[in-house]
Copies of this chain bind each other. A is one copy, B any other.
Amino acid sequence: MAAVTLTIGVDVGGTKVAGGVVDDTGTVLVQTRRDTPADDVGKTRDVITELVTELAAGHDIQAVGIGAAGWIDASRSTVLFAPNLAWRDEPLRAYVSAAVGLPVIVENDGNVAAWAEFRYGAARNADDSMVMFTIGTGVGGGIVLGGDLVRGANGIAAELGHMLTVPDGHQCGCGRLGCIEQYASGSALVRFARAAARQEPQRATALLELADGEAEAITGPMVTAAAKSGDPVSAEAFAQVGRWLGTSMADMAQMLDPQVLVVGGGVIDAGELLMGPTRRSYAESLAQRSRLPVAEIRPAELGNAAGVIGAADLARRI
């Protein structure tokens, strides 16, 4: 009987590094996490290698996959730029591989999450294609076509957050006006909710109570909690996000015609408060295609574990 081969997945976030040993059914057998020393390139590498070494002890590990926010080169070796970490042209693959004595690949976190959902999550019944939007502080994404991640000629495809949505619209941190990240992100959700709470405080009492009466103190989890308890202003903030998200997903359906569309990230905790408006906007945007089959939109299923599972599964395919 052939032994089950195992891989390790590592998810490097701005505040935590999570890791796990994963088998070939996407099950996490062991996991652990540490704080990210985000400002220190050397220490971040060390935390990763320590964590991998610890996880590898006592398992027969085939390879290691590392997911991180940022631009990764086409050979999946070097982090070209990571917005939340100090890495600039960081040869992470070579460093970790030498340190732990295993094959390593590095992958963008949006791609990793999309791969996990494609293999073991919301799109596991799809065998060919899916597009996933991950809604966090910003907007990320991943694209699978022909059963593989679309990584692009330079390794930097699926940068979904910076597609133009409103010409001359809200200023994005990237310098442009009107990127989708300014309309369909967790930051946008909070911005919409704060603005409405300042504008119509009498309608936002439930939300403002959570924020001790200060519109500026409103956070994403408060908007979710208030929306679930019936606060109209919070529900409208989710509806605004959903409206823009549905429009962008319709663009994806028209461009790539995938089997499945997935929405992930913390905002999906709001359930139908987000998914309802998203699906309505999607359907309206595709009305001229109403005679044709089109991808269904599904919420992600793996939550935060997607980073570890996806990275581990990509490592299995080196």
A residues adjacent to B (C-beta < 8 A): 71, 80-81, 128-129, 143, 145-146, 148, 150-160, 162-178, 183, 191-192, 195-196, 198-200, 247, 250-251, 254-259, 285, 287-295
B contact residues around A80 at 8 Å (CB): 291-292
- How far does the alpha carbon of A155 sit from the alpha carbon of B254 in the complex, in Å? 11
Supposing A152-B258, A167-B166 touch, asked if A200 and B175 sit within 8 A by C-beta, the answer is: yes
- How far does the alpha carbon of A157 sit from the alpha carbon of B255 in the complex, in Å? 5
- How far does the alpha carbon of A191 sit from the alpha carbon of B256 in the complex, in Å? 29
B contact residues around A178 at 8 Å (CB): 169
Among A165, A178, A195, A250, residue most surrounded by chain B Cβ atoms (within 10 Å) = A195
Choice from B146, B152, B247 contacting A164 with Cβ under 8 Å? B247
- How far does the alpha carbon of A117 sit from the alpha carbon of B161 in the complex, in Å? 29
Q: Could you tell me the dominant secondary structure of chain A's interface residues?
A: loop
- How far does the alpha carbon of A191 sit from the alpha carbon of B195 in the complex, in Å? 19
Cβ contacts A to B, 14 pairs, < 8 Å? A129-B152, A143-B256, A152-B258, A153-B258, A153-B295, A156-B257, A159-B257, A164-B165, A167-B168, A168-B183, A174-B288, A175-B195, A175-B200, A176-B287
Choice from B157, B175, B255 contacting A196 with Cβ under 8 Å? B175
B contact residues around A155 at 8 Å (CB): 257
Q: Decide if B257 touches A157 in the complex (CB within 8 Å).
A: yes
B contact residues around A145 at 8 Å (CB): 145-146, 150
> In the complex, which residue of chain B has the Cβ closest to the Cβ of A126?
B153
Give the 8 A-B residue pairs with the shortest CB-CB distance, closest first: A152-B257, A175-B199, A157-B257, A174-B288, A159-B254, A175-B195, A153-B259, A170-B170
* A218 CB, min distance to chain B CBs, angstroms: 13
> In the complex, which residue of chain B has the Cβ closest to the Cβ of A146?
B146
Q: A154-B293, A160-B255 are in contact. List 18 more A-B contacts (CB 8 A).
A: A80-B292, A129-B153, A145-B146, A145-B150, A153-B259, A157-B257, A162-B254, A164-B250, A165-B167, A166-B168, A167-B167, A168-B183, A169-B170, A171-B192, A175-B199, A175-B288, A176-B287, A199-B288
B contact residues around A169 at 8 Å (CB): 166, 168-170, 178
Q: Decide if B176 touches A288 in the complex (CB within 8 Å).
A: yes
Q: Decide if B290 touches A163 in the complex (CB within 8 Å).
A: no
Choice from B143, B170, B174, B200 contacting A255 with Cβ under 8 Å? B143
